[in-house]
Amino acid sequence: MTALDWFALLHPVLVILFVYPVVGATIRLGILVREKRLGITQQPALVPREHADHGRWVTAGVVVAVLIALVYSFISKAMDPGAAFLGGTPRLALLLLVAAGTLVALLALLKVKRAPLRASFTLLTWAGLLGLGSQPEVWRLSDNPFSGAFWSSHYWSGVLLTGLFLFNLAARPEITRQLAWRRLHVGSNVLILVLLAVMAITGSRDLLEIPPMAQKPPAAPAAAAPGSADLAAPSQA
């Protein structure tokens, strides 16, 4: 395996070792928060804060994992001698700059408090991921929502999953204060659980379908110039 292949493993490793365990802890804390609110059980005062913190961590982990996968897609295509990377180094630098800007928008979302700023940085983060993911170098089974491949696509499931995580993070103050937002929060989390299962299945499938750099076939040799075979024939005689 090459260094780039090890970099590619950061995406699934981060999801397996961090995102999924933190999701489990977040769900458990959310159940405890609900029991505390309904008076079913007595819980420490820090439980709601712990639930919110875990939600922040898992959202940040998901966005970072997606950015790693997207950056790998661009770099691997740019370094692949058998593939033509449109735009060359300037376009690659621009894509990496957009990825960095998306990460900055996420960090800002984690810091801001006012609702307009939360909404703005949420949209900027998700728009950055969508813009990067729409590039031709990113592995997508289909972009047609009327095809079965679209609904079994790891990429499109990840886009929706990331959007739901970002929504829950941005709407945390409203979820805390209003019952309607809490119900919307619960509904989105049910969909998140379904998408996490889909992502685990489709991600494992794609790891088998996308060969690592070390196993990709070598680039085809350049075509010989016209008449070169005739010129070489006498020396082979």
The model's pLDDT over 87-133, given as tens digits with 9 standing for 90+, comes to 888 999 999 999 999 999 999 999 999 999 999 999 999 999 999 99
pLDDT one-digit tens code per residue, 34-85: 888 888 888 888 898 999 999 999 999 999 999 999 999 999 888 877 777 8
pLDDT of 84: 78
Give the structural domain span for 26: 3-215
Give the per-residue pLDDT at 216: 55
224 inside domain: no
Quote the pLDDT of residue 215: 53
State the pLDDT confidence band at 235, using cuts at 50, 70 and 90. very low
The answer, yes or no, to whether residue 214 has pLDDT greater than 70, is no
- Residue 230 forms part of a structural domain: no
**pLDDT for the residue 234:** 36
What pLDDT is stored for residue 220 in this prediction? 44
Residue 168 counted as domain residue: yes
Is 229 part of any domain? no
Question: Is residue 233 in a domain?
Answer: no
Domain assignment present for 226: no
Q: Please state at what angle helix 88-111 crosses helix 115-133, rounded to 10 degrees.
A: 150
**What's the rounded mean pLDDT across residues 216-226?**
45
- Structural domain includes residue 189: yes
Joined tokens for residue 208:
């088998």
Q: Provide the pLDDT confidence category of residue 217 given band limits of 50, 70 and 90.
A: low
State how many domains the chain has. Answer: 1
- Contacts within 8 Å (CB) and 24+ apart, 48-57: 48/176, 51/26, 52/172, 54/22, 54/25, 54/26, 54/29, 55/26, 55/168, 55/169, 55/172, 56/110, 56/169, 57/22
Between CA 10 and CA 148, with CA 153 as vertex, the angle to 5 degrees is 165
Question: Is residue 222 domain-resident?
Answer: no
Residue 28 pLDDT > 70: yes
Average pLDDT, the chain: 86
pLDDT at 236 over 80: no
